[in-house]
Chains A and B, each alone.
Chain A
Amino acid sequence: MQIFPRSLNKLPLLLGGVGTVVPALLVGAIWYFVTPKNFTVGYAPAQPVPYSHRLHVGQMGMDCRYCHANVEVAGKAMIPPTQVCMGCHSMVKTDSARLAPVRSSWESGKPIEWVQVHKLPDHAYFDHSAHLAAGVGCATCHGRVDQMDVVRAEQPLGMGWCLDCHRDPKPNLRPKDQITNMEWKPEMAAAGWTAPDVNPPQHCSGCHR
């Protein structure tokens, strides 16, 4: 007794084909769209205060460490407290409407709620000072912040990307006095300067505790 019509003979073949092609496409799509390279790069959220790095760093020439003071001595680079902003803005542009959140934060004692742009997952423990001690420049990971009006993530910040450097750090190092120099290029290095032998961790506990 025939239960199935003959036209169904091709069904297993069709299912096999579809069953390989569709998951492959799906995986490929996720691999491409959901990985940090696409997910993270280009993230430029709106901030509560329209702080422009291009103005302060690019035009005025402030050093990264003036505000992000912790970066050489601690794991976290630290978004500056309102106190740092008020250091100048208690005298400069004291009536600017765009600085109103800063002034109200200073008066009320409540923090300004900056949106985090470069975010690693909680199980990854990143230490800025170790990287600065090795000679990694700010622009290597954060891009040309001095040309950004709104801070934008330029690098994927995924584990594979970190390991690419950890496995071969020398191309990404620069002399220690050039770390905050956004315009530095390897060809600007003094003749005879070579990147030191750093020993970045490639094992799990280097970053995952």
Chain B
Amino acid sequence: MSRREPHVFKAPEDGAKVFWKSLEDKANPAAAQKRAESEFPLGLEEAKASSIASSLVKLRKSKDDAKGVADASVGRRGFMFFAGASAALFAEGCARRPVEKILPYSKAPEHVLPGTTSYYASVIPQRGDALGVLVESHEGRPTKIEGNPAHPSSRGGTDAWTQAAIYDMYDPDRGTTPLKGVRQPQGGFGNHTPATWADFDQAFSEILRTAQTDGGARLRILSESTTSPTFLRLRDAIVAKLPKAQIHFWEAAHDGNAREGARTAFGQLLDVVPSYDQAKVILSLDSDFLGTETGSTRASHGFAKGRKLESSKDDMNRLYVVEPAFTTTGMNADHRLRLAAQDVERYLLALAKELSTSHKIDLGGVAAAVAKADATGIPEKWLKVVATELAEARARGIIVAGSRQPARVHALVHALNAALGNVGHTVQYFPAADPHQADPTASLKQLAADIEKNAVNTLVILGGNPVYDAPADLKIADRIKSVLQTVHLSSHVNETAEVCGWYVPRAHVLEAWGDHRAVDGTVSIQQPLIAPLFDGRADIEILARISGDTAPKSFALVQQTVKGSLSIPASITRTWNEALKSGVLGPAARPFGQLEARQTEIAAALAQAKPAAALSPQSLEVTFAPCPKLLDGRHANNPLLLELPDPVTKVTWDNVAFISVGTAKALNVESGRVVRLSREGLGSIDIPVWVTPGQADNSIALHLGWGRQKAGRYGDKHGFDVNPIRSSDATGFAGNVTLRVLDTNELDAMRPRLRKVGMAAGDSLLPANVRPDDPFEADTKKYKISQTQEHDTMEGRPIAIDATLDQYRKNPVFPQFPDTERKDRAENGAAIAVRETGSPDPHTPPLWGEWKEEKFFKNNHRWGMAFDLTSCTGCNACVVACQIENNVPAVGKEQIWRGREMYWLRIDRYFVGLDENDPQIVFQPVACVQCEEAPCENVCPVNATAHSPEGLNDMAYNRCIGTRYCANNCPYKVRRFNFLNYHTSGGFYDDVPETEKMRMNPNVTVRMRGVMEKCTYCVQRIQEAKIKAKREHRPMKDGDVVVACQQACASECITFGDLNDPNSKVSKARAVDRNYRLLSELGTRPRTTYLGKIRNPNPAMGA
């Protein structure tokens, strides 16, 4: 073969045609010539290193030396050698398979069957309550938390926080070793260095030795609220040993006001447990009992029970909500009054007055106090009608007040409930778990005062994050820094750990033994599912050390408590094992049957109220609420919760300040505008506002838990910290707040505190020129917010179909036929087209005809699902449960902004009605509805999505090539595409933290980039149940398969099962008259149907 001459460049002569390969070539022909002679200037550089390559180069050089060929060239022959060699090696390598190993146990643990799941009962503490759970574990790795049907707090359901607690346990940013700090000149400690537990134990004994002088007078322990019998027993032991030591309790979102109110009303500390299932009329005064209040799972269960309609003949309860901001509870209200938080008390007084005057409810001494009630600004029907309802529903009505309302409001509510005869029926009072835990704010205040007086030289902080979430006026950070010796036990090296002398890692709830008492007295044992991943210790172990135990283990401590509580201590083993098996150790306590309200004390408390200043756009109120996702900040590094859309605004990865339409107009701000909220004498915060329909005027709603700077890789610098304007005398809400829009310089000053890019795992996946580095929009300077649902209307289509109870009774099949007319939200003042409420049947015949029906569906299981929109409270537990069960990744703020959220199940929220200030909300969980005539299946070019004979729309991930035609065709838009490798930050899973690999569900494929995914009806659970039935040689029965969303739902609104079984729950749900298919006119014949939402408005309240 002849050797071609390399392409020779001739300098262009005038008029001659020149051919050049690139502009560079044209400009510099000589250099181009040189480059052309070495054919592979780059690429085979590495080959230089190998001896083969160097000998080839030598070969080449010897031949072409005269032409001065560059050293780096391997030449054509060299290339052929390498190509041929690698092809041969490839073939050889392929003939030998990559070796995969199986590693069995050496000494196998009992009861562990590799490949099967085990369930263990445990309990998770929740701010003074406890939720019994069953935790699913694969070979020693817990992967999913479910509710425990045997536990009264749960009854099988959970909430979003509990579901996501798994991610908290596997959080890669948890502290891994004890850290010892060095005292800093400005106070506090810093420059922490890793130490061992042995170091800590030694140092801690020293600390305790000095603290134990004079009866522990200078020792203080600060803990989160707890009902743990072991904790309380150890606390009592410490107090017995060191009588002057004090133990304080603090939590950012607590029920102290309710307990103090009960103490005022009844003379003792009581916990309030409403029984919503018994109530026909519920009045919620700023109480988000379905969302962020303690006991929301129990409440959702009871509330939904009272609302279940199997036919139009059933009755429903009625919910009145008075609140400043739209909450989950407000979304479910039949009537909602938006009122500033400070006005709720006035409302209550006016209502009490109405009850005592018009309905002769005997309030005794309180009647005089309420007689002066000022009802300005409160619609009259809200007093008259509500009072009538409550009075007529004696013992079947209930009034609840929210945790942020002051104690005197709770006291009056208790008095009214007692007077209305609700006690013992719709509301139960239980003795509080701990008489010493009344009001955490007062407890923390006491601690701060003690430290200021120099009365404290040793402070042990068990859990929590007081430096971040304590009220700003207490200056807790400075106080803690001024204490001589501080120890902080916590899951993360957080803001508090940074300034403490010792940081010690805390074992997660799923990693240590413990016990917890639910608010109704049910005690359960907290059982660990895995040894502490990061070598943490439980709080009771630290407490036991203080009480003198030298090497305490949580197991022994809890056993000791249980033994001590038994009448026959020798029966400990049997009792213990039974408690672990069922998840319940002891039965609920006895509630109080009747309680006498101490009217004088209540009247005195009410008299202490100072009249609040009138609200105006210049003097606003701010309300503080625990975030429905991050709570008080404890979940700030949990990517699932960070990404979970807020139930009302659907905002992800940030918090915003809710502001009403009217107030926004008055202050001339729009959504996304960053403002400064200031409280004189306290401080200010910078936060973007968000115009939210349904927000009370002149009241700004803030969520706690955001803006942390030391949360971890996911949570740092997300959102805005609202604690600087929270004061200890007004932890729930405060007035006299001014609002001012920030200017550009101030926005620039904010940047260091804000996240530049919002990717969940890392920033490196996008090229620099498309990365939204700037958190503010370039032209408008508004803060960029990622929402999952920007549109708020159904655009005239019958999607989430709702009706009132009367309408339902008149036309039970209202969702199916276009009968009654409703106006959708008006735009620009003009009403848009009247929408039909019904979802008409399709006009086109089915594509496959009856063939599929005859051949497959009739003879196999016919899986179907029904969502009852009446029971659904919009709490988001199902969304998180699905994500965890199916290894669905969180994608980060920037990807959400591009519309690439990955939730298989989403909850759409629509505003209904013409009044933008007082809309109604209807929400609808939507996942793949498994259409029998699926538009997505027909268009897949590789048949990656096929229909199973049981009706499931299967997804074979390995076949998918990422055309995305199926997502294009889906009318429900429930298909999710992995645009990027969301489980990593760019590499090929090399940089996924080990703990994140452990938390994946092994029964579900982890999808890679380029693959489409969607709800599969938890096919792994269906298969597991089918195989189990095959093993046991029995047919499947209803209830064998429980899908993840169904299991998580506290309201039991999701039914799943076999439609070919006429007795299954889902068949019965389908048969209900208000059942309809979503977008049925398209002819998709979905297997998931919806039961229309029924509201129960009171005709006396007007429209």
Contact = CB atoms under 8 A, between A and B. Distances in A.
Interface of A: 33-34, 39, 43, 45, 70, 72-76, 78-83, 105-106, 108-116, 119, 121-123, 125, 127, 129-130, 133-134, 199, 201-206, 208-209
A182 B334 CA distance: 69
B107 A113 contact: no
Contacts of A79: 102, 104
A78 B1031 CA distance: 17
A74 B114 contact: yes
Interface string B81-106: 00000000000001101011111111
Given A123-B958, A208-B956, A110 B102 contact: no
A209 B106 contact: no
B114 A203 contact: no
A192 B100 CA distance: 44
16 contacts: A70-B115, A81-B104, A82-B104, A110-B106, A112-B104, A114-B104, A115-B101, A123-B956, A123-B958, A125-B1023, A203-B952, A204-B946, A205-B948, A205-B1016, A205-B1019, A208-B1005
B113 interface: yes
B957 A114 contact: no
Nearest to A128: B115
B1003 interface: yes
Given A39-B97, A205-B948, A114 B1016 contact: no
A105 B1003 contact: no
A78 B106 contact: no
B1027 interface: yes
A78 B94 contact: no
B103 A111 contact: yes
Contacts of A70: 113-116
A43 B97 contact: yes
A76 to B, nearest CB: 3
B1016 A74 contact: no
A79 B1027 CA distance: 21
B884 to A, nearest CB: 15
Contacts of A127: 1023, 1027
A54 B745 CA distance: 81
Contacts of B1019: 205, 209
A82 B105 contact: yes
Interface string B934-974: 00000000000011111010111110000000000000000
B671 interface: no
Contacts of B97: 39, 43, 119
Contacts of A39: 95, 97
A74 B116 contact: yes
B1030 A205 contact: no
Interface of B: 94-95, 97, 99-108, 113-116, 860, 946-950, 952, 954-958, 1003-1005, 1016, 1019-1020, 1022-1023, 1026-1027, 1030-1031, 1033
Given A111-B106, A204-B954, A209 B1031 contact: no
Contacts of A115: 99-102
Contact of A130 (B103, B104, B108, B1030): B1030
B1033 A133 contact: yes
A201 B856 CA distance: 12
Nearest to A76: B115
A82 B107 contact: yes
A78 B103 CA distance: 10
A116 B102 contact: yes
Contacts of A110: 106
Nearest to B1020: A209
A73 B954 contact: no
A80 B103 CA distance: 9
Nearest to B115: A76
- With most chain B CB atoms within 10 A of its CB, the pick from A106, A133, A203 is A203
B102 A209 contact: no
B954 A45 contact: no
B961 to A, nearest CB: 14
Contacts of A73: 113, 116, 1031
A199 B1029 CA distance: 13
Given A123-B957, A204-B954, A209-B1020, A81 B1027 contact: no
A166 B174 CA distance: 48
Per CB-CB distance, the 3 closest pairs between chain A and chain B, nearest first, are: A76-B115, A203-B948, A204-B954
B99 A205 contact: no
Contacts of A129: 1027, 1030-1031
A166 to B, nearest CB: 12
Contacts of A121: 958
Nearest to A199: B860
Given A112-B104, A121-B958, A208-B956, A130 B1027 contact: yes
A178 B592 CA distance: 65
A106 B107 CA distance: 7
A108 B107 CA distance: 10
Contacts of A43: 97
- With most chain A CB atoms within 10 A of its CB, the pick from B107, B113, B115, B957 is B115
B601 to A, nearest CB: 61
A74 B1005 CA distance: 19
B106 A82 contact: yes
A72 B1031 contact: yes
